[in-house]
Chains A and B, each alone.
Chain A
Amino acid sequence: MSKTALKLENVGMKFNLSSEKLDSLKEYFIKFIKKDIKHDEFWALKDISFEVKKGDRLGILGLNGAGKSTLLKVIAGVYNPTEGNVYRKGVIAPLIELGAGFDPQYTGSENIYLYGSVLGYSKKFIAEKYDEIVKFSELEKFMDVPLKNYSSGMKSRLGFAIATTVEPDILILDEVLSVGDAKFRKKSQNKVQSMFDKGVTVLFVSHSIEQVKELCNKAILLDHGRIIASGNTEEVCKIYEEKINN
């Protein structure tokens, strides 16, 4: 356990919950003149600090609305935190929201390039890995078909194949992957397992204590946007169990 792969310092994420959503100019002006714009502040995350060493597998536990997804999005860089800093080292493969950026009009092969570029791959890299991606997704026959004609299972297979073709330093998993049919699920779990074996750093979000215990060596517990416990998986899971039973 040596180098730091990910470090968060006092990260906070604030949302403005306008009591009414203002998206027309007229409303805005009327409210503005009447000084009636209310912003209820809501801190989805507050004072989040933790450090993940290279090779650690961190489980993130919490009830619904505890801020787990927001935390993942902050780590992945989708949200810019309102305060605090996030230090990341190396390539992050967020296996959340597979297939973000797929265009339904585009064909399968065009989408590989598009989605790959969105994930930050280079053109050369995608060209090299193209065959591998197609083979893994088992969609050889459908590469020239527009994505809108794909079934949802096919789409997620393609998304998974593209997202996992890199060798990431940090892998972000939201729940356990259930992609496609039983056969493909097995295949995708093997793929994730092989990444684990290579010593990738993992962030794993789940409701399931069993899965976290199985996969992770460390854990944090979130509640209302704050970390209320962190440390060994066993200890944190115990606190979480107590919290559920209350």
Chain B
Amino acid sequence: MSRLINHFNRYKFVLSELVKKGIVLRYRRSYLGVFWSLLEPLLTSIVLYFVFSAVLGRGGTPEHQLMTYGQLTFMVYILSGRLLYSFYNQTTKECTRVIRINASLIKKVHIPKYLFPLSHMIFNYILFLISLIVLIVVGGALMIFSNQPLPTARILLSIIPLTNLILFAWGSSLILATLGTFFRDLEYLWNVFMTLMFYACAIFYPINKIQTSNYPWVAYIMKANPLYCIITNFRQCIAGNGNFIYKTTKAGDVLASVQFNYLYALYALGTSLVLILIGAIIFRKNEDKFILYV
């Protein structure tokens, strides 16, 4: 234990410098700076909102919205999903090539390699937390203006999906950083995969649309996606009491009241921990070889 603390003390300054570098450089030379991490998700969510409510007729009338999104306004529904998704997307994408872009350091100085994916994940998480402000402001305003029930104390439970998100991202990052170093193809493959993930996370439509479609089994596959479980639970946390979600039963669609889904939480946590374990093992086994491949 004391070795761990020593190790941490020794490298915490490097880690903080790497994190700082990531944040500072991302928005350097842009006029709005870190403000972009608020503006960017808001603007893309607005785009999604218009595409899916106007063009495809989703969103629709207020009544329609109430039924489908359990009184989470369509905008809040999209925004909450997209924010969580884009943190995961950004972090894992960067991690597929994190060892290679830090090659100059790895080749020349002694530094624990896991600091690179870790620093990327941390600065992306900080930017993600900042971007949650937009959800609070926009979501709060929409809830008040459209006379919807405000979030209850359950919102405090959102710490669970938010923590789970970082664990899930860390497990994935370790695996991707290792494999991405040896196989450059992974970078492109992962981009494609993340597009699939975007649709599989039910960011802009409710999953019961699929349950009632011709292919209800797709919904089960989607629920096996830990990121979907995390996002869904996060939405449940920020929805107010008196909000309902649509539940598909044999008798048809019925309304069920919103509540935190502990099964989802346990499942997502379990898969995240397994990923971290696998990731840690393959990363440790291969980190000495990275230098020969970058």
Contacts of B107 in A (CB 8 A): 78, 97, 100
Partner pick for B105 among A25, A76, A80, A100, CB 8 A cutoff:
A100
Provide the A67-94 mask, 1 if CB < 8 A to any CB of B, else 0: 0000000001111100000000000001
Contacts of A106 in B (CB 8 A): 21, 24-25
CA distance A49 to B100 in the complex (A): 33
Contacts of B288 in A (CB 8 A): 79-80
Question: Using a CB–CB distance below 8 Å, which chain B residues touch chain A?
Answer: 10, 13-14, 16-17, 21, 24-25, 28, 104-111, 182-186, 189, 288, 291-293
| A and B contact pairs by CB, cutoff 8 A, 29 listed | A15-B292, A16-B292, A24-B184, A24-B185, A25-B186, A28-B183, A77-B110, A78-B107, A78-B108, A78-B291, A79-B288, A96-B108, A100-B107, A100-B108, A101-B105, A101-B109, A103-B25, A105-B28, A106-B21, A106-B24, A110-B21, A110-B24, A113-B17, A114-B17, A117-B16, A118-B105, A120-B14, A121-B13, A122-B13
A interface, by DSSP: helix, strand, loop or mixed? loop
Partner pick for B25 among A94, A101, A105, CB 8 A cutoff:
A105
| Extra pairs beyond A26-B185, A78-B107, A114-B21 (11, CB < 8 Å) | A23-B293, A76-B110, A79-B291, A97-B107, A100-B105, A100-B109, A110-B24, A117-B13, A118-B14, A119-B109, A120-B10
Please tell me if A186 contacts chain B, counting CB pairs below 8 Å. no
B184 touches A101 (CB 8 A): no
B183 touches A23 (CB 8 A): yes
Give the top 8 A-B pairs by smallest Cβ distance, nearest first: A77-B110, A100-B108, A117-B17, A97-B108, A80-B288, A117-B14, A25-B185, A25-B183
**Nearest chain B CB to A23's CB is how many angstroms away?**
5
Partner pick for A118 among B25, B28, B109, B291, CB 8 A cutoff:
B109
CA distance A115 to B14 in the complex (A): 9
Given contacts A15-B292, A110-B24, contact A118 B184 (CB under 8 A): no
Contacts of B185 in A (CB 8 A): 24-26
Provide the A123-149 mask, 1 if CB < 8 A to any CB of B, else 0: 100000000000000000000000000
Q: Which A-chain residue is minimally distant from B289 (CB atoms)?
A: A16
**Nearest chain B CB to A45's CB is how many angstroms away?**
14
Q: Which B-chain residue is minimally distant from A123 (CB atoms)?
A: B13
Contacts of A28 in B (CB 8 A): 183
A24 touches B25 (CB 8 A): no
Q: Which A-chain residue is minimally distant from B15 (CB atoms)?
A: A117
Contacts of A78 in B (CB 8 A): 106-110, 291
Contacts of A105 in B (CB 8 A): 25, 28
A100 touches B104 (CB 8 A): yes
**Nearest chain B CB to A177's CB is how many angstroms away?**
16
Contacts of B291 in A (CB 8 A): 78-79
**Nearest chain A CB to B47's CB is how many angstroms away?**
30
B24 touches A118 (CB 8 A): no
**Nearest chain B CB to A93's CB is how many angstroms away?**
11
Q: Which A-chain residue is minimally distant from B186 (CB atoms)?
A: A25
CA distance A110 to B189 in the complex (A): 35
**Nearest chain B CB to A163's CB is how many angstroms away?**
10
CA distance A94 to B24 in the complex (A): 28
**Nearest chain B CB to A184's CB is how many angstroms away?**
22
**Nearest chain B CB to A128's CB is how many angstroms away?**
14
CA distance A28 to B183 in the complex (A): 9
Contacts of B293 in A (CB 8 A): 23
A118 touches B186 (CB 8 A): no
A101 touches B108 (CB 8 A): yes
Contacts of B182 in A (CB 8 A): 23
CA distance A79 to B288 in the complex (A): 7
CA distance A97 to B14 in the complex (A): 19
Q: Which B-chain residue is minimally distant from A94 (CB atoms)?
A: B109
Q: Which B-chain residue is minimally distant from A92 (CB atoms)?
A: B110
Contacts of A110 in B (CB 8 A): 21, 24
CA distance A123 to B17 in the complex (A): 10
Q: Which B-chain residue is minimally distant from A119 (CB atoms)?
A: B109
Contacts of A79 in B (CB 8 A): 288, 291
CA distance A118 to B11 in the complex (A): 9
A24 touches B183 (CB 8 A): yes
**Nearest chain A CB to B234's CB is how many angstroms away?**
34
